[in-house]
Structure formats: structure tokens, C-alpha cells
Structure 1
């Protein structure tokens, strides 16, 4: 079952990459902003320690958004040369509620503007596909987990790979946990 899931997400990633590349080729975007959701634009970790949610659907719909992130994303949507995408590691079953939550935040996204992967490793494949594009890519992702247990842990291998990618490719800029914390608390 795990192999089937991996193959599905690999195929889905390739299709999503194709959709994004077609979008980029049809319109002259100069910038692509890719946002993670959990603990990047949504204050998620506290929701794991509460007992008042009936189910995961209700928990995800109730997540508060960081005010400054909402403001930034709303401004970016107004720029015709910018495309805003959301790339998050969640269960595929969470796609409808995640889309609904983003729409409820006032974002005019299309279905192809949200992509769910089953692990942070798949995010790197999507970023790598954009390295040859003549567009600046800004990737905003905390790449952290375990907040709810009091000790923040990081996807160190993925962070290293993304930093390497952004070092080698001038058109890809990565903003991680510390950048997000500074931005939200400023």
C-alpha cells in the first residue's frame, strides 16, 4: 500500500508540475510565491493539543491565519505579474477542506493553485522543476514539526536540499522558520 501511495504522489507531482509550467508559459509571470500552510500561514500546532474538535475536518477549518501572512498574500494576488501557489504536506483526503479554508481567508485561488504532497520530500521535486524557468521563485515554508510536544523539530535533510537548490539557482529564494517567525512577530 505504501508503494502505491508513493507512486500516486509521484505521478500527481509530475501532473502538477506540468500544470504549473503550462500556467507559466501562457502568461508572463515574473514571480512565483509558493507558501506552505501549517505553521507558515496558519497557526496550526496548538490545534493538536485541543479536544474540542469533533474531527480533523473541523480542526482544519478552524485554524487561525497569521494576519501579516494574509496581508502579504492578498497584496501578492493583486500583482498581475505574480502567481501565488500553496504547497502543503497533508493527507490527500484533506484537499477539499484545505481549499475551503484558503478560500475562506479571502484568497481567489483556483484548484490548481493548491497542491498536497504526502511528505516534505515531494516539495523539493516541485521546486526543482521550476529551476529552469525564467521566473523568480520565492518559497516560504517553516519545514518544522512537533511543536505540539514542546520541542520544535526540523526536516533537516529537506532544508539542506532546498538551501542547496537556492544557492545553485539564483531564481529560487527560500524563506524558512526563522524568517517566518521574524516576519510574523515584526
Structure 2
């Protein structure tokens, strides 16, 4: 059943019909490179993925994963904050993916921050082409996660509803702080 799959896999299934070959897509939080790999396959040989992460370890893991699949030529990995996207991209993009929290298997003290995430979301929403998307999975069950989750929700709820559609998916019967999925599409 689809609700029993990993959230990232569910997001990938949602995006398959949306991403067009030749698109430029941002992986705003590269992590271990699974989304970068998915996106590199989806954009095809004429597309481009631009991945950001503040941790060199994440960039290294993603590079290894992409090289082993022969797809590194489709991806530009940038060791910088996603909030600095405007230093690297000025043309329209087809979409962006965020996984908020900390690097799985990495230092749990290094987390995404509300301030930089909001800066990135604002800049990316301005870069989206018509029909473009933003997906966000908020893993917020750690110190600082609740603040970021609330900031993201406020930002998304204030987007102009004549320009953007926003949605939230969360689990109702899981204990603790289960992850939340946010979906955005530019009209």
C-alpha cells in the first residue's frame, strides 16, 4: 500500500508525471543523494539537477552515488546553503525538493534552520516556472525542528492562492513527531 512506503518514494511517484525531460530541478538538501539520483534520472540527459548541502559528507556521499550510476554529469553539487541559491541560479526552474532535519547517519546536531529554509523557499518560489513544484518533507522531531516546521507552514499558508496551490499531508495515528509532507505548485 502506498501509505506504507517511505515518504521519499511516495514523493518520487507523485513527481514522475510532473518532471519533464530537460528540466532544471533543485535538490535543496542533498543528504545522501537519493533525491539527486531520482531527479537525475527524471530530467534525462538534457536536464540538470542542482544540489545544495552545507555538509561536505553529504556532497561526497551524493557524488559517489551519482558516479556509480553514471549520472554525475547531470548534477551540479554545491557545498553551500540552499539559502544562497540566487548566487548559482537566475533562470526559471521546474521544481525543488527539500528534506528538512539532519543528515541520516550523520551528525544529528547539524540541522536545517528555519531562517535559511525560509530564505531558500522564498527565492525558489520566485524561480519556479508555471506548473513548477516544491516538495518538502519535514522531519521535525528533533530540537529546533518544531520552530522550522511552524515557519514553513506560515510561509506556505501566506503564499498568494492565485499563484500557488499548497497542501499538507500528515499522519494522524502515529505517535511522537511523525514527518509532514508539504506540496506546492505554481499555477
> Structure 2-normalised TM-score?
0.44
Larger Rg: 1
Task: Specify which structure has the higher proportion of helix.
Answer: 1
TM-score by length of 1: 0.45
Q: When you count strand as a share of all residues, which structure comes out higher?
A: 2
Higher RCO (CA < 8 A, seq sep 6+): 1
